[in-house]
Structures are given as structure tokens and as C-alpha cells.
Amino acid sequence: MTKNLQSSLRRRRRSGNAMQTYDALPQQLRNWLSTAALPWSPASAKGIWMKAGGRTNPKAALARLAAVEAATLQKDRIGMG
């Protein structure tokens, strides 16, 4: 599975246990991450989720995540072109 590893964007290393952080995420966010086009860290996805009001409005938070991902993919296309 290499669909999300071929990118011109800089990779980042994170400290901590990513699997524990992932397991603690809300189910809707984990579902979104499992189909995301980019390899999101659980911490960054959770940060966007929380800022977008994921606890009270999960649909809006998921829409915000999709918008951030689309913008990042656009940057990647520009960087590769």
C-alpha cells in the first residue's frame, strides 16, 4: 500500500505512542483517518477535530479535515509539477 507515501511533502517524526493516541480518538475520526489520502498523525487530526468542534458538530469537523487535506494535496501537486 503506497498510495499515501508518494509525496513531495516533508515527513515529520512524532514522539509518543501513535497507536494509543489513535485508539483514543472518536470513532468518526478514526473512520475518516482510515480512508484519508494522506498519512495523518493522530495528534494533528485530533487537533483539527477539536478546533472545528468535533465533539458538538462531528460533520463540521470532518468537513474541516477534508478541506485541510484537499489544501495539502494541492500544495503537493504544485510541488511535484
* CA–CA distances in Å: residue 74 to residues 32, 39, 65, 80: 19, 15, 14, 10
Q: Which residue has the higher pLDDT, 12 or 5?
A: 12
pLDDT in tens, 22-55: 999 999 999 999 999 998 989 999 999 999 999 9
For residue 25, being part of any structural domain is answered with no
> What pLDDT sits at residue 14?
61
What's the total number of domains in the chain? 1
For residue 49, being part of any structural domain is answered with yes
For residue 53, being part of any structural domain is answered with yes
For residue 37, being part of any structural domain is answered with no
What pTM did the predictor assign?
Answer: 0.74
For residue 77, being part of any structural domain is answered with yes
In whole angstroms, what is the distance from residue 50 CA to residue 17 CA? 20
**First-to-final CA distance of the chain:** 23
* Residue 42, C-alpha cell as written in the block: 493522530
Q: What are the helix (H) ranges across the chain?
A: 18-23, 27-35, 42-51, 58-80
